[in-house]
Amino acid sequence: MSNQVLEERFVPKGAIAFFAALVVFYAMLSGTSIGSLFMAGMTPGVIMAIALMLYIAIIAGKRKYPYGPKYSTKQFLSNTLKAIPALLTPVILLIGIYTGIVTPTEAGALAAFYGILI
């Protein structure tokens, strides 16, 4: 079995979805707010993301993987402006939940609708 196949097997792709299901299940059993439980999971999620980025950077450096194409500042700004609607999705959801405009369930429907629009 090649190294690439072995590495793809150990990337925790399903860990996040499994964690989300456990959070919802725990919230139902304990009567705890789903939104507050997900916010409590933000710190471990960010730590996990940083750890994975560091791991990838170290492995890519050791194996001398090629770099991607260089972008000019103009291209970077153009691409960033095009991405703003998608980047606003979590902002819209969190503002909606924390201001009380929508519940977490309605926020999921709002995210799906917003995703279809953009």
User: Which stretches of the chain score pLDDT less than 70?
Assistant: 1-19
Quick one: residue 68, left, alpha or beta (phi over 0 = left, psi -120 to 50 = alpha)? beta
**Is 99:107 a contact under the CB 8 Å cutoff?**
no
Q: How many helices (H) and strands (E) does the chain have?
A: 7, 0
| Model pLDDT for residues 4-32, shown as the tens digit of each residue | 544 555 555 555 556 677 878 888 899 88
* Torsion angle of C-alpha atoms 34, 113, 84, 47, degrees rounded to 10: 30
pLDDT at site 5: 45
* Spatial separation of the C-alpha atoms in residues 18 and 16, rounded to whole Å: 5
The whole-angstrom separation of Cα 40 and Cα 23 is: 10
- Residue 39 in contact with residue 49, Cβ under 8 Å? no
Q: What is the pLDDT of residue 20?
A: 74
Q: Is the dihedral of CA 106, 111, 115, 118 positive or negative?
A: positive
**Residue carrying the six token digits 């201001």:** 99
C-alpha distances in angstroms, 71 versus 37, 56, 117?
Answer: 39, 21, 29
